[in-house]
Structure 1
Amino acid sequence: MNNSLIVIAGPTAIGKTNVSIQLAKKLKCEILSADSRQFYKEMNIGTAVPSVDELNEITHHFIQHKSIHDTYTVGDFEKDAIQKLNTLFTQQKYAILVGGSGLYLDAVTNGLDHFPEVNHDLREKLISTYKNSGIESLQKQLKRVDPTYYNKVDLQNSQRILRALEVCLSSGKPYSSFLSAPRKKRPFKVLKIGITADRPIIYDRIEKRVDIMIAQGLVDEAKKLYDYRALNALNTVGYKELFNYFDGVWDLEFAISEIKKNTRRFAKRQLTWFRKDDQIMWFDYEDDCIQILNYIHKKTL
């Protein structure tokens, strides 16, 4: 295996985009985004998509290549990303995979677990329960049918809970029982780099980024998407809080404070996910890129 996939992971707002571009220039390679929020062309400011200048510096893939109206799963991304890597690795030794979506990074590096087919009617019934009774009813049901997964999942992530329940109820087996399949072996090396900082610094960077997003026009961007707020792609931090503002539930100041709070919580969950991976080599966000480059060369040459 002469090719190497360099994974750049870390919490939101830590500077992964800048690090990946610097490394891509040095390694003469291209970048694949594994940030599931950046897949959608209608969402720009609220997802911190790389700027036009940044995109022009290095070729990026999987940035705004889908519409919020498209169905695009992590399984679809795995297939598309592996296909793209197979092509890139005929032309270059390295490729960079960057993002804060741990599940999407894992899909490319390790492959996804395989689950049984689920009943469509059951899925619709669970969604109806969620809409009518709230997430608490789903949480209680998951705790009853799969306490193992209940104790590890983000209980505020409705999509994860719905997915687990539909698998449990369709198969008659705990969702967690499908999470232990052997990982796929990829025809390339994987080297994982984590970018981090002390938590107060991360939180401060998040607050400043949200302020910048508001100044750049996030409110107007969300307003244009308001009619599509029921779509899964828009059930995300930065948009759903502003939808509450448009609905008159919150004032703008409170909505912005909720964006900051929920983004901090998201960063905390990201770090919890990544800290479980002992293959990640961590660097401080202020470390010189040359340090990371030297580490890459040491491990891949």
Structure 2
Amino acid sequence: MNTAIIIAGPTAAGKTGLAIRLAQHFGTRIISADSRQCYREISIGTAKPTPEQLAAVPHYFINSHSIKEQVSAGIYERLALGYAEEIFAHNPVAIVCGGTGLYIRAFAEGIDDMPAIPDAVRDHVRQAYADHGLAWLQAQLRERDPAFWAVAETENPHRLVRALEVLEATGQSITTFRTATRRERPFRIIKIGVTIPKPELHANIHLRVDQMMAEGLVEEVRAVLPYRTHNALQTVGYQEIFAYLDGHLTLPEAVTQIKDHTRQYAKRQLTWFTRDKAFQWFDPRGDDKILSYLQSQL
């Protein structure tokens, strides 16, 4: 039976390297499940696989879109299922790898259709968030959308901005559009979660941020300033450099915030994935154990 092996976990835990090794083992290809790496214009701040890694194994949904486009979880669902079908035409195993929990859920279970958000509403909400910050965003939703607030990731600005956009555009809570209808897939799914001890993960995050700065993150962010309200740029690594370019932070302060916010993001990723009891967790450096488990499932 055709099988999709999903590899998920926090940022900087070693997902990419493991995915490449597994893809080489099975002679197959990788579908990225990262909401930002699909954009050609942003590579440094998204920690894309290196050119050597991309050359080692064919990847889908890396450098596939322009920052001028908006890609949603619903769009990803349709694209990723098409990629899987293409892989299964030649190989019974596909690898799906990434840290965007909503995209992985969309691929595995389907996702509810959300209303289209007019550009004017999106720009208004995001500019207000940029002007007033997270506390304002939290207060808006706490007061105006208590149904969402009761189940919200209250420290996740991306989710909060999305909920406020839906509220502004439709007058309804985003929760009214969530049906939680699970769609069956015509292939088996095996979920592998990977992480490493917290001190090592935090060290990896700090090193990665320092490398991003050395590789030219500030210049990359400056180049996409015209698109700063884009979904993909409402995220760690870009918002802090925008604040620096706007004169609100010094560069060392921005770097410190990127490290702090990335650690917080990694914690939220772990919380998201550990809620799904279908994941079996491993140290990504334990290839033998992972392969042994996969062989027992295939």
Pair in the same fold by TM > 0.5: yes
Q: 1:44 to 1:145 in 2, by over 3 A?
A: same
Shift of the alpha carbon at 1:294?
1.4
* Structure-1 separation of matches of 2:95 and 2:42: 23
What percentage of residue pairs aligned between the two structures are identical? 41
1:189-228 C-alpha deviation (Å, 9 max, x unpaired): 0100011122222111101111122222222222323343
- Give, as a single letter, the amino acid of the residue that structure 2 aligns with 1:4: T
Give me the TM-score of the superposition, normalised by structure 2. Answer: 0.90
Q: How does 1:68-83 map to 2 (within 5 A)?
A: 68-83=67-82
* Structure-2 separation of matches of 1:277 and 1:3: 22
- Give, as a single letter, the amino acid of the residue that structure 2 aligns with 1:84: Y
Q: How does 1:1-20 map to 2 (within 5 A)?
A: 2-20=1-19
Query: For residue 152 of structure 1, what is the aligned residue in structure 2?
Result: 151
- Give, as a single letter, the amino acid of the residue that structure 1 aligns with 2:43: N
Q: 1:201 to 1:146 in 2, by over 3 A?
A: same
Say if 2:79 is the partner of 1:86: no
> Please, which runs of 5 or more residues in structure 1 have no aligned partner?
none
Q: SS of the residue aligned with 2:36?
A: helix
Query: For residue 101 of structure 2, what is the aligned residue in structure 1?
Result: 102
Shift of the alpha carbon at 1:143?
2.4
Query: For residue 194 of structure 1, what is the aligned residue in structure 2?
Result: 193
Query: For residue 259 of structure 1, what is the aligned residue in structure 2?
Result: 258
Query: For residue 292 of structure 1, what is the aligned residue in structure 2?
Result: 290
Give me the TM-score of the superposition, normalised by structure 1. Answer: 0.89
Asked whether the 8 Å contact 1:146–1:176 carries over to 2, the reply is: no
Let me know the Cα RMSD of the aligned residues.
2.4
Query: For residue 243 of structure 2, what is the aligned residue in structure 1?
Result: 244
* Structure-1 separation of matches of 2:119 and 2:229: 19
Query: For residue 139 of structure 1, what is the aligned residue in structure 2?
Result: 138
Aligned length in residues = 298
Q: SS of the residue aligned with 2:37?
A: helix
- Give, as a single letter, the amino acid of the residue that structure 2 aligns with 1:151: A
Asked whether the 8 Å contact 2:117–2:165 carries over to 1, the reply is: yes
1:231-276 C-alpha deviation (Å, 9 max, x unpaired): 3322221122122222222222111111111111110111111110
* Structure-2 separation of matches of 1:45 and 1:3: 34
Query: For residue 235 of structure 1, what is the aligned residue in structure 2?
Result: 234
Query: For residue 183 of structure 1, what is the aligned residue in structure 2?
Result: 182
1:15-57 C-alpha deviation (Å, 9 max, x unpaired): 1000000000111110000111101101111111111110111
